[in-house]
Structure 1
Amino acid sequence: MGLFSLFKKNKADDDAADITAAAKAGAEDEAAARLAAHSELERQRVQQELQRDIARATAMKIDAIEAAMAADIFDDEEMPWASRPARAPRAAALDGNTLPLLKAGTTELLGELDTPAEAAAAETAPVVEEVALLYANGQAELAAELLAAAARDQRDRTVWWMLFDLYQILGRQEAFDSLSIDYASTFETSPPPWNPPAAPDSAAAPPAGLAPTAALSGMLDAGCAAQLARLHAVPANGAMGAAGPAGPLRLDCSRVRGVTPEGCALLLAALRAVQAAERELTMAGAAELERQVGAILAVGRRDEGEAPWLLRLELLRLQNREKDFEESSMDYCVTFEVSPPPFTPPQRVALAPEQPLAAAAADRFVLPYLLEGDASAVIEAILAYAEQYPALVFDCARLARIDYGAAQQLLAALQGLGERRIEFRDLNHLAAALLRLLGAGASVRLFPHKY
């Protein structure tokens, strides 16, 4: 073997050894890289799991703190939203024969079915009777204190309704608004609107007497002239039974289903005539009628003429809705490019809710704002009213208070009329509680206004 062959062989062996060593080193490096990558992934996974554990622990701690804070807040008895005892379950209906209900008047059924069970149970509660007597005797502030205390501790709606009525009679709107918030929170329903009874002019005699009723129904159009004529007629017995133009009137629009410009013009003229004559007016269904009139109007369109626009403004004024009146006035001004009539607070106007069926159409006897002391003049007018009608319907929308003595005189006179259908409509809940306490519920029908 030559020298060069020997060197060549040794070089080949060295190269093979180098390649083998390099391959081995590469394999070791690759394994080390894989191990390092795996370790990094494992470290990241462990870190993420740790972060999730920390987040879960933090969330649980926050939930525990919030639960403790909520318990501290809502268990405070002094707060208006404090937790209250659970509502008692409604009593199961008594078994018995229900067929006699078919013979009852529809008005009676509608009047009673809307009364919640808790309100019906409270009608004879001691606090209700005590407050009724206090208020009847002129102790209104003390009655308000008792009612406010009872409302905080009870869920009887009659107590709340009496307090709503009393705040409106006393003109305490801020207290009324505060009570409305508590009422909505307690019963989860809308509170009643602020609608105080219209106090009579101190210079005039308190209005009472037969109230001829103009009941409008169907379409308010040119054909309603005959019904509206009753608003212009002078009643046979006016205030306190004396003839004269000051007798009260009643307008029921609750069954009107549509309006025309001609009908709007007729009703507008009738309402203006009543106001000009300073007649006492009780109006039912004014809000719904205003909505129907507004439905045929559009800003900038003069096709209907001015009468519907002016009637809408008059209806808003009679409801004492000054803000809505101003907004509608701007629309009227834009449409006709003339100045709208100014807003003036309504005088001698009372609003009444809708009444069902025949009860809405009958002529009613309007009771005065205050009935106290010697009620002989009012009773004399009632007896004259009873000679003309087999059924007696008393409009109590204006009645703010009747004292104990006058209530006894009134009920005694009604009992002397024998078997007659007698109804007191739109009573405030204070007067209704007094009449019920005196036994009126057994001989007459009492219909307090609905809240």
Structure 2
Amino acid sequence: MTGRRCAADKDVMGLFDFLKKKGDAPLAGAGARPRQDNPLAAGPVTRLALDTEAERERQREIARATAAKIDEIELEMTSAIFDDDAWSGNRRPPAAAVSSTVGAAGMPQTDQNTDMLLGPDDLPDAAAAPSSAHVVEEAAILYANDQLDAAALLLRTSVHDSNGGAGERLPWWMLFDLYQIMGLDSEFESIAIDYASHFETSPPTYHPFAETSRALAGPALDGQFSGAIPTASLSGRLDDGDDARAQLARAQAASPSPLVRFEFQAITQVTPPGCALLLEALQALRKAGRELVLAGADHLVAVLRPMLAIGDRGAGEAPWLLLLELLLLTNREKDFEETAMDYCVTFEVSPPSFEAPPHLAVSLAAASLPRHVAQGPAAASDRFLLPAVIRGSSAALLAAIADHVADRPALVLDGSRLARIDYAAANALAVHLRALAQDGRDIVLRDLNHLAAALLRLLGVGEQVRLYAHKY
């Protein structure tokens, strides 16, 4: 028995040898155990408290159970990381929730707000989940018939109903859009707090739709711009070469458009002269009161930052000033102030002050852009801006769309300014787009508010046209 215990003790000691640092000196006498017939030499701490085979077996069972429990916890944590429902408080999605993610055609539906998380492909909006479909459809019809108060009441009741749509995000997003269309900032902030608490996420920010008051009461298209958006699509190495100058000149050319669009997502490198050229164009447009859409602004900021270091004047002032201009245009005041202080220390000048422009630039993530629009200047002019209000037959608008797409294989309609579209106009637009799609054209509606997207989907537009609502 004594021999077996000695062998067991040697095995246990061997298990813990890997915990010693490589540089540790061996313990004195570690290579030999004291004789068992000398109890004084053994001492009270040289033997484990395993005096019987039964005790050793019990300790082994405890170790195995502990290891199994650790494996179970690690598996649960790993599952939670990749399970969206785990973040909203549900440990396991019920079977009904799983089945509701499959549409009538047997294809999985995608979350309207997480298409960037689903892979590189640009995925269109999904239809509403079955439990909230009737609320979404009724709210869309009320919105189309100018019954905005009734639509707001329906959606507000739905999101607060624990047995209804409270666990689904689409009714919340529709309510957010409706409050911004109606200009109800206090109601928006209140429901945003509830949304953040319910879904354990950051609350959305209130951004009223452009020309909101006219969207509710104004005439159909009088005085409202719609049409192709002047676009500067910059790619590769940003310098002061002919290509960059031509792109920026086209964006600054006289145009009835209140918007100018810049696409930065394909820029891989910037030079100080290129920074100076782009800075000059952005400042000129801002001072002229033009509204800017900056696609891939965060990407360009990320390209600029590695060039800049406090105290290093090697890159010159232009990259610093371009970075400050981008932070100013996108209303990132805190980042602006911190960068301005770094610029002040580096060049020993007074720091520039933050003055919000009259029209804040709309900043779009590069991953949210359709591929055929984000691939360079050839596709930049495909985007057609829809007006803030579309009512009635909208014959003039449909004729303008037809002229725009006449010699193009693809059509991208920009709905970022669209606040109101009534039922007659939505139906006319649906018929027109289906006819264009039958000719083999790729047609996309981008940045729609969630009410307009639901209405067009209800009219069957989503069967042949890709619909993308804006993100919260």
Q: Residue in 1 aligned with 2:67?
A: none
Provide, for residues 290-332 of structure 1, a one-character-per-residue CA deviation record: whole Å limited to 9, x for no partner: 3432343234433322222222222122223334334433433
Identify, as 1 or 2, the structure richer in helix: 1
Correspondence 1:231-270 to 2 at 5 A: 231-233=248-250, 244-246=255-257, 248-270=259-281
CA contact (8 A) 2:434 2:461 kept: no
After superposition, the Cα gap between the structure-2 partners of 1:412 and 1:219, relative to the gap in structure 1 and judged at 3 Å, is same
Q: How many residues align?
A: 354
After superposition, the Cα gap between the structure-2 partners of 1:290 and 1:194, relative to the gap in structure 1 and judged at 3 Å, is farther
4+ residue runs of structure 1 moved beyond 6 angstroms? 81-86, 92-98, 106-109, 200-204
210-219 vs 402-411, which deviates more?
210-219
Q: Residue in 2 aligned with 1:411?
A: 430
Provide, for residues 116-152 of structure 1, a one-character-per-residue CA deviation record: whole Å limited to 9, x for no partner: xxx7425971111121122233333332232222112
From 412, 428, 432, the equivalent of 2:449 is 428
- Is 2:298 aligned against 1:287? yes
Q: Distance in 1 between matches of 2:106 and 2:130?
A: 26
Provide, for residues 420-440 of structure 1, a one-character-per-residue CA deviation record: whole Å limited to 9, x for no partner: 221101112111011111221
Q: Distance in 2 between matches of 1:294 and 1:172?
A: 38
Correspondence 1:47-196 to 2 at 5 A: 88-91=96-99, 110-112=121-123, 120-121=128-129, 125-153=133-161, 154=165, 155-196=167-208
81-90 vs 165-174, which deviates more?
81-90
Q: Distance in 2 between matches of 1:108 and 1:411?
A: 29
Q: Residue in 2 aligned with 1:359?
A: 373
What is the DSSP-based 3-state SS (H/G/I as helix, E as strand, rest coil) of the residue aligned with 2:319?
helix
After superposition, the Cα gap between the structure-2 partners of 1:300 and 1:166, relative to the gap in structure 1 and judged at 3 Å, is farther
- Is 2:423 aligned against 1:385? no
What's the CA shift for 1:393? 0.8
Q: Distance in 2 between matches of 1:113 and 1:412?
A: 20
- Amino acid in the other structure paired with 2:143: Y
What's the CA shift for 1:278? 4.4
Q: Residue in 1 aligned with 2:15?
A: none
Q: Residue in 2 aligned with 1:324?
A: 335
Q: Based on CA coordinates, which of the two structures has the bigger radius of gyration?
A: 1
Q: Distance in 2 between matches of 1:314 and 1:146?
A: 43
423-432 vs 175-184, which deviates more?
175-184
Q: Distance in 2 between matches of 1:96 and 1:133?
A: 24
Q: Distance in 2 between matches of 1:127 and 1:245?
A: 40
After superposition, the Cα gap between the structure-2 partners of 1:357 and 1:111, relative to the gap in structure 1 and judged at 3 Å, is closer
CA contact (8 A) 2:387 2:418 kept: yes
- Amino acid in the other structure paired with 1:435: L
Q: Distance in 2 between matches of 1:177 and 1:275?
A: 29
- Amino acid in the other structure paired with 1:429: H
- Amino acid in the other structure paired with 1:206: Q
After superposition, the Cα gap between the structure-2 partners of 1:281 and 1:312, relative to the gap in structure 1 and judged at 3 Å, is same
CA contact (8 A) 1:351 1:397 kept: no
What's the CA shift for 1:448? 1.3
What's the CA shift for 1:171? 4.3
What is the DSSP-based 3-state SS (H/G/I as helix, E as strand, rest coil) of the residue aligned with 2:273?
helix
After superposition, the Cα gap between the structure-2 partners of 1:246 and 1:434, relative to the gap in structure 1 and judged at 3 Å, is same
Q: Distance in 2 between matches of 1:198 and 1:445?
A: 24
What is the DSSP-based 3-state SS (H/G/I as helix, E as strand, rest coil) of the residue aligned with 1:255?
strand
Q: Distance in 2 between matches of 1:409 and 1:95?
A: 26
What's the CA shift for 1:407? 1.6
Identity of aligned residues (%): 48
What's the CA shift for 1:253? 1.6
Provide, for residues 71-126 of structure 1, a one-character-per-residue CA deviation record: whole Å limited to 9, x for no partner: xxxxxxxxxx999997544128699999xxxxxxx9998343885xxx74259711
After superposition, the Cα gap between the structure-2 partners of 1:170 and 1:122, relative to the gap in structure 1 and judged at 3 Å, is farther
User: Aligned Cα RMSD in Å?
Assistant: 4.0
What's the CA shift for 1:159? 0.8
- Is 2:471 aligned against 1:450? yes
Q: Distance in 1 between matches of 2:273 and 2:90?
A: 56
What's the CA shift for 1:365? 0.5
What is the DSSP-based 3-state SS (H/G/I as helix, E as strand, rest coil) of the residue aligned with 2:98?
coil
The gaps in structure 2 that reach 5 residues or longer are 1-87, 108-115
TM-score, normalization by structure 2: 0.64
Q: Distance in 1 between matches of 2:300 and 2:251?
A: 25
From 225, 229, 241, the equivalent of 2:246 is 229
257-266 vs 362-371, which deviates more?
257-266
CA contact (8 A) 2:331 2:360 kept: no
What is the DSSP-based 3-state SS (H/G/I as helix, E as strand, rest coil) of the residue aligned with 2:339?
helix
TM-score, normalization by structure 1: 0.66
